[in-house]
Amino acid sequence: MDNQENSQQLNQTTTPQNTEKKKEGCFWIGVVALLFLCVIGVVVIAGGLIFAVASGGFAERMETLASTANSNLIEEHIEGSIFAKDKIAVIDIRGVITSAPAASGSIYELACADIITEQIKRAATDASVKAIIINLDTPGGEVTASDVIYNEIMKARKEHNVPVVAYMNSLAASGGYYSAVACDKIVANRLTLTGSIGVIMETYNYHELFNKIGVKSEIYKSGKMKDILDGSRPRTEGEIQIIQNLVNNCYSEFVKVVSLGRKIPVETIRTTEIGDGRVFDGEQALKLKLVDSLGYFEDATKLAAQLAGTNIESVKLVRYSEAFSLSRLLREMKGVSKPLNVNLQPGAPDASIIKKGRMYFLPEML
């Protein structure tokens, strides 16, 4: 009995101590494990920093990461080695250039200026992008939208020192050509339709129809020029002059950017076929010095790589697409819900794109 009592007393006195020792042991094991993980993390981070510095352009890499983090665009690989460090960004301008949202319910492809400028900006601020190709297949479009794209291309070249090459597919006329002259070089297919350097503004005058059917328009206005484009009455000489002056001023800006970009005197553009609004094929455009060379898309990529001081084998081609978002989904749904506009003039953009009373860089034939 005494031995049993002594054994129980011994167990009662030693068990709490053992428990405390076990807890203390677990604590220190946890501390050691945490310190080990911290050391591993520091080593990995330090190794990454050393690698980045050793490979060059650490600040540029950090700048690239910062710029892409705020972007709503996804980079897509087109061709070339996916492991290539250097890139050439391809920016597509397809369809009528417009300031309208990307989805408008139109059956025609639209080149939304906001999205295009965002893509150019993304490419220009990515240190791994060594050159940009503006891939054109457009009849032109809104005056201001074309000018916005022109300005963003110029910023990429002048502020970020990124060479830009324009490639013309089937069509790069009017506003499309306006955008192209901002680039360092222009490559066209020999069958490309380009040129159409000019401005057009359209409206309807239906006052004779109103007279036939006995309809009169009533307009209450604050000034005598407020209804300058009213089609229910004849246009006055003063109104015609005002509208023509607006078109002439816009045309002067077009001539100026062509002269600046192509090194052609302003007077030569104004007084020859270059500036009378006609369309040229690629070979004619080359003879008139409106483009630099004739070729295909691969020729434009080789030229872009050459301007960037690299070769086409060491770069990959990428393009950007808009990331999925709720706002994009709602915009697309809004576009789908719009009624289809039927245009009775074959080959012409529908009324959802071409607005009466606006100025456009577009060929008359379109």
Provide DSSP, 189-258: -TT-EEE----EE-----HHHHHHHT-------SSTTTTTT-TTSPPPHHHHHHHHHHHHHHHHHHHHHH
Cα(73)–Cα(129) distance, integer angstroms: 15
**Cβ-based neighbours of 27, under 8 Å, separated by 6 or more:** none
pLDDT band with cut points at 50, 70 and 90 for residue 345: very low
- At residue 60, the pLDDT reads 45
Average pLDDT over residues 230-257: 91
Is 199 or 27 the better-scoring residue by pLDDT?
Answer: 199
- At residue 248, the pLDDT reads 93
pLDDT at 53 over 80: no
Q: What share of the chain is helix, strand, coil (3-state, %, to 5)?
A: 50, 20, 35
Calculate what percentage of the chain has a pLDDT beyond 90: 51
The reply to whether 226 belongs to the active site is yes
Cα(86)–Cα(177) distance, integer angstroms: 28
User: Which of these ranges, 38-47, 277-286, 346-355, has the smallest mean pLDDT?
Assistant: 346-355
pLDDT band with cut points at 50, 70 and 90 for residue 206: confident
The reply to whether 130 belongs to the active site is no
User: Which of these ranges, 12-26, 103-117, 269-283, has the smallest mean pLDDT?
Assistant: 12-26
pLDDT tens readout for residues 10-27: 445 445 555 555 556 566
Average pLDDT over residues 77-92: 93
pLDDT at 243 over 80: yes
The superfamily in CATH containing domain 73-201+235-361 is 2-enoyl-CoA Hydratase; Chain A, domain 1 (3.90.226.10)
- At residue 229, the pLDDT reads 82
pLDDT tens readout for residues 143-184: 999 999 999 999 999 999 999 999 999 999 999 999 999 999
Cα(304)–Cα(298) distance, integer angstroms: 10
User: Which of these ranges, 45-49, 93-97, 186-190, has the smallest mean pLDDT?
Assistant: 45-49
Q: How many H-runs (helices) and E-runs (strands) does the chain carry?
A: 11, 14
pLDDT band with cut points at 50, 70 and 90 for residue 127: very high
Name the active-site residue from 146, 174, 196, 259: 174
Cα(355)–Cα(365) distance, integer angstroms: 16
Average pLDDT over residues 269-285: 97
Average pLDDT over residues 89-100: 93
Q: Please compute Rg for the chain using Cα positions.
A: 32
pLDDT band with cut points at 50, 70 and 90 for residue 65: very low
Instruction: Check if the beta carbon of residue 181 is closer than 8 Å to that of residue 140.
Output: no
H-helix or E-strand containing 44? helix 2-55
Other Cβ atoms closer than 10 A to 104: 18
H-helix or E-strand containing 339? none
pLDDT at 309 over 90: yes
H-helix or E-strand containing 74? strand 73-79
The neighbouring-strand residues paired with 256 are none
Q: What end-to-end distance do the CA atoms of the chain give, in Å?
A: 114
Name the active-site residue from 21, 85, 226, 338: 226
pLDDT at 351 over 50: no
Cα(323)–Cα(72) distance, integer angstroms: 6
Other Cβ atoms closer than 10 A to 223: 7
How high does pLDDT run on average in the chain? Answer: 80
pLDDT at 364 over 90: no
pLDDT at 63 over 50: no
